[in-house]
Structure 1
Amino acid sequence: MELIKVKEWRLYHHSFFDFPSNIALSTVIWCLAYGSSFYSVITDQLIMYKYISLENDALNVLRLHSTDVGVSSTVKQFKFTIKSRKVVRSCNHYSEISAGAEGNFNANYSLEGALILIRHGDRGPLTHVHNISNVNCGGVYDPLYSSYENFISNITGTPTLSQLIGTFHGIPVLPSSDCGLGLLTRIGASQLLKTGKVLSDVYRHHLKINASLLRDEIKVFSTRYRRTFQSGLAFLFSFLQKDLFPKVLVQESPSLAFCFDDCACPAADLFLRRAREERELLIKSRPTFLNLVRSSSAIVYEVPDKKVSSDPHALKDALLTYICHNARFPCLDSKLPTTCVRPESVISLFNYLEWESQQMRVNVNMKKTCFLRAYGLLKNIVSYLLRIVSERKPKIVLYSGHDKTISYLTMALGIRSNGVLTPFYSSRLIIEMYKTHDQLPDGGPVGSNYFFRIVFNGKDVTRELKFCKNAENSYHSSQGNQESNNTEKKFYLCPIESIVRFLHEDYFTIFNATNIKDACAVPS
């Protein structure tokens, strides 16, 4: 692949791209390759770039391997090249994980508990891809990982570890050093270690954990996938004190949706099948883009499958293996640039998927699927919120899950913020529970002095909950977290009764039903 260095460039149409005016041109070189101009068809919009005064340059950031450059430096070169950091943000480099709106609360309120739903960290591809041996998934990982690895090594083979992992015996505790199919990497563990440390700094001082009641105060659930189990452990290690970490019990969820006792639902399978068919029609309506996906898939996959080769989501997942580990994109013949995955193809892919997610957000069949898939998890969440009201415990509930776990729940709740339908590695959705110290009138309903808020990847999304619109409360925080430099910030609270009423009275109105049994019945 020949690199183009741009001395002067002009952007004729930038509805999908947003380059800061003061950015160094070297940061956008990688997407300005393959000749003096190219066209990229993205969701029926034509984008043209024209380059003036081009010359060869030996530095091609797309072809850098992690042995040539550190992870963070390459991420910084990538992150300005695509609007909203679409590509690099999907990698969610651990150095960029920080606290946001979490824990900003008014002095009139006390934080009583936090329910934390996380997506697992960086992993290997889900399908066999070319040149995987040249991808360094061991990567440059956070220094905290070495401490974690040493701790686990010291308790391996002891009753301490057996007590911690519970029913997850036989699953390795530490991540893989290579790019195994679907396996968490050390970089992925680093993401959760950083997330745990960040949230510990926010919550630990306010949620005082009673060590003698640890298993009552901390509840942990993980799906039985190696990557979610290992991600949950990494999070807990940095979130808790080291003496408390091994005393936690990780419980198994039989479903990636954490549906618990409400998993069997024939209607959910039907609606999901219909939603997938409608999603396939979207890409078929764009034959130029479909051909791009197929041609790129033929290069990326070792054994192309007809169905997978037409799936833009599978292609994105495979390409993240290269992007997130600073590996060169694959070529069928390295001497022929036309047989390589092209940068503009990657840009088109991410833009298409962003557009598609907006279409599926309003798709009725997808909505119904998410409502049914998320019901069991939401019921579990509400039950713990009510326990906090009645028993003031647990203090922490952790669900270590998948991207679909987050997307099902957020769509059911009506959250529409960017990224909720395609959450990146180590994403977090947190429900914070508060109790007011204000004097309430006598005879009020039980729990009327309890409120909650929801924060997704550091952004307060409570205002997006439809059932909180009429009960919305906003306050100015008297203190902020470390990331906010103690500046005052607004935060929004919703009465606990609002989410209870939504679950028990309004949840199934989209199905013209009043309970999960009737909603799950296959329509005749």
Structure 2
Amino acid sequence: MDALTALLLLVHLIPVSVAKNGVSSKSRKRIMPDPVTEPPGMDPLYEALLYCNIPSVAERSMEGHAPHHFKLVSVHVFIRHGDRYPLYVIPKTKRPEIDCTLVANRKPYHPKLEAFVSHMSKGSGASFESPLHSLPLFPNHPLCEMGELTQTGVVQHLQNGQLLRDIYLKKHQLLPSDWSPDQLYLETTGKSRTLQSGLALLYGFLPDFDWKKVYFRHQPSALFCSGSCYCPMRNHYLEKEQRRQYLLRLKNGQLERAYGEMAKVVDIPTKQLRAANPIDSLLCHFCHNLSFPCTGNGCIDMEHFKAIKTHQMEDERERREKKLYLGYALLGAHPILNQTVGRMLRAAEGRSEEVFALYSAHDVTLSPVLSALGLTEARFPRFAARLIFELWQDRDEPREHAVRVLYNGVDVTFHTSFCQDHRRRWPKPMCPLDNLVRFVRRDMLVALGSGSTNYYDACHRKGF
């Protein structure tokens, strides 16, 4: 048994203790270090495995947990696409050989995989917003194309969809059996991996759905900013953040040595190798348990991979300590959070039939939202990560509505900026909707320190 296989077994087979009601006694802390499964200190291989999110045992989650007198009104799901083929190639090396057709006897597998393929084959005439109608509905290349969703990625989201089905449909009856198109809102970027991930989750959630009832809207921006994408100050913060990343990299002697050694292996200048972003390809090798690339000059090895991954972890830690990325995140996440708050308010006031919204997106979508919400301990979005906002109505006081926020099945409501102090004053296991509304429409802009209380001004006025 090699070291990677042993680590896979350690991470995926150690059970998590759960109380009788399905809630871990440390459930709110699971985005924090877990003394049972988490190694002491920074472990780049452990973090890389969490990022891979290899489907294994059925996941326990906290979605849908609420006192019996609360009624679920609507659910808003943000996902990162599933496992994909790399976007970059390491020069002068052979591409990783991964089959992007969907095959029943190949791991990872899901009981609905064949039915998913069959159903997608019937959707070739589906009506989606342009340019989505030109994209394939499932991956189907014997050798994956760049950025293509893999079988692992499909299975990850079939699992997500089935988990949400068990909770929101079977337990809470969020949708009736004769649901209407108006009850769903579906939006994706124009990449095949996000559309296919959204379809896989939707199929797990609503098996054999009626194609005539499903309509995916196209979102041109990875920030899902719709008509509010022009924001000069957001770009200003991003440029400063990229400068910070560059300076941190220059200070890391171990990283530079690793890049130098890898460049010698593939016989190209170090600068060219760095520009090829080798970590993207190496993560693919790692997640699929493939040997790292070799040439006549030697091999890229696990120590090189660990050096780059360790630097990524150090970069994420420094990023949390500085405010540059936070400035970018507050402005970058505001449009989609504002849209979500608007949907919640319309649902709470009975002005909308919509009960389930799905945004199929990227790591660069979820990461700013997590940061803007104040979830500083949350890990970088893994493959098939999910961030969910639940809207609840108190049946005892029907005018009262509350929200829960969950990240990869963990209730992080009381870790958010808008609700971390509220728990002491409100005995309910969720947060008043008003807190989220006030945070999005005022407080997250005030936090920039520019004196702005509206998005347009904040985008044009210097803050911290």
Query: Smaller-chain TM-score range?
Result: 0.7 to 0.9
Find out whether 1:76 has 2:13 as its counterpart: no
Deviations 1:136-180 (A, max 9, x none): 555634242222111222343xxxx42357651211111143331
Give 1:223 shift.
0.6
Q: Distance in 1 between matches of 2:98 and 2:268?
A: 18
Deviations 1:69-94 (A, max 9, x none): xxxx9843786895782121211112
Q: Distance in 1 between matches of 2:88 and 2:256?
A: 19
Q: Which residue of 2 aligns with 1:414?
A: 374
Give 1:416 shift.
1.9
Find out whether 1:142 has 2:109 as its counterpart: yes
Secondary structure of the residue aligned to 1:399 is strand
**Structure with the larger strand share:** 1
Which letter does structure 2 place at the counterpart of 1:140?
A: K
| Counterpart contact for 2:263–2:269, Cα < 8 Å | yes
| Counterpart contact for 2:62–2:411, Cα < 8 Å | yes
Q: Distance in 1 between matches of 2:75 and 2:395?
A: 18
Change beyond 3 A, Cα 1:243–1:271 = closer
Q: Which residue of 2 aligns with 1:353?
A: 312
Which letter does structure 2 place at the counterpart of 1:119?
A: R
From 254, 258, 275, the equivalent of 2:224 is 258
Q: Which residue of 2 aligns with 1:174?
A: 138
Q: Distance in 2 between matches of 1:414 and 1:426?
A: 21
| Counterpart contact for 1:118–1:399, Cα < 8 Å | yes
Find out whether 1:430 has 2:392 as its counterpart: no
Deviations 1:353-389 (A, max 9, x none): 1121011012221111111111110111101110110
CA RMSD of aligned residues (A): 2.8
From 296, 299, 304, the equivalent of 2:262 is 296
Find out whether 1:222 has 2:180 as its counterpart: no
| Counterpart contact for 1:473–1:492, Cα < 8 Å | no
Q: Which residue of 2 aligns with 1:492?
A: 429
Identity score, percent: 26
Deviations 1:238-261 (A, max 9, x none): 111413465211011110011112
Change beyond 3 A, Cα 1:393–1:296 = farther
Deviations 1:1-50 (A, max 9, x none): xxxxxxxxxxxxxxxxxxxxxxxxx564x6xxxxxxxxxxxxxxxxxxxx
Give 1:208 shift.
3.4
From 58, 82, 86, the equivalent of 1:125 is 86
Deviations 1:232-284 (A, max 9, x none): 11110111141346521101111001111210111111110110111111111
Change beyond 3 A, Cα 1:140–1:385 = same
Deviations 1:166-205 (A, max 9, x none): 6512111111433311111122111111111111111112
Q: Distance in 2 between matches of 1:360 and 1:297?
A: 27
Which letter does structure 1 place at the counterpart of 2:191?
A: Y
1:456-467 alignment to 2 at 5 Å? 456-467=407-418
Q: Distance in 1 between matches of 2:282 and 2:391?
A: 39
Give 1:297 shift.
5.5
Q: Distance in 2 between matches of 1:247 and 1:297?
A: 52
Give 1:308 shift.
5.7
Q: Which residue of 1 aligns with 2:151?
A: 186
| Counterpart contact for 1:168–1:224, Cα < 8 Å | yes
Which letter does structure 2 place at the counterpart of 1:413?
A: L
Change beyond 3 A, Cα 1:351–1:83 = closer
Give 1:406 shift.
0.6
Secondary structure of the residue aligned to 2:294 is coil
Secondary structure of the residue aligned to 2:419 is helix
Q: Which residue of 2 aligns with 1:235?
A: 201
From 103, 108, 120, the equivalent of 2:69 is 108
Give 1:304 shift.
6.8
Q: Distance in 1 between matches of 2:130 and 2:204?
A: 20
Give 1:401 shift.
0.1
Secondary structure of the residue aligned to 1:104 is coil
Secondary structure of the residue aligned to 1:113 is strand
Q: Distance in 2 between matches of 1:372 and 1:124?
A: 30
| Counterpart contact for 1:117–1:430, Cα < 8 Å | yes
Secondary structure of the residue aligned to 1:504 is helix
Q: Which residue of 1 aligns with 2:422?
A: 471
Change beyond 3 A, Cα 1:467–1:154 = closer
Change beyond 3 A, Cα 1:469–1:87 = closer
Q: Distance in 2 between matches of 1:137 and 1:507?
A: 42
Q: Distance in 1 between matches of 2:149 and 2:458?
A: 36
Find out whether 1:198 has 2:163 as its counterpart: yes
Q: Distance in 1 between matches of 2:360 and 2:237?
A: 26
From 442, 447, 452, the equivalent of 1:505 is 442
1:50-69 alignment to 2 at 5 Å? none
Q: Distance in 1 between matches of 2:420 and 2:48?
A: 33
Which letter does structure 2 place at the counterpart of 1:215?
A: P
1:334-373 alignment to 2 at 5 Å? 339-373=298-332
Which letter does structure 2 place at the counterpart of 1:500?
A: V
Q: Distance in 1 between matches of 2:185 and 2:211?
A: 12
TM-score normalised by length of structure 1 = 0.74
Give 1:211 shift.
6.0
Which letter does structure 2 place at the counterpart of 1:521?
A: H
Which letter does structure 1 place at the counterpart of 2:355?
A: K
Q: Which residue of 1 aligns with 2:404?
A: 453
Secondary structure of the residue aligned to 1:434 is strand
TM-score normalised by length of structure 2 = 0.83
Secondary structure of the residue aligned to 2:271 is coil
Deviations 1:292-314 (A, max 9, x none): 134335647x9778266168xx3
Give 1:288 shift.
2.7
Q: Distance in 1 between matches of 2:131 and 2:425?
A: 43
Select the structure of larger CA radius of gyration.
1
Q: Which residue of 2 aligns with 1:387?
A: 346
Find out whether 1:330 has 2:293 as its counterpart: yes
Q: Distance in 2 between matches of 1:243 and 1:504?
A: 36
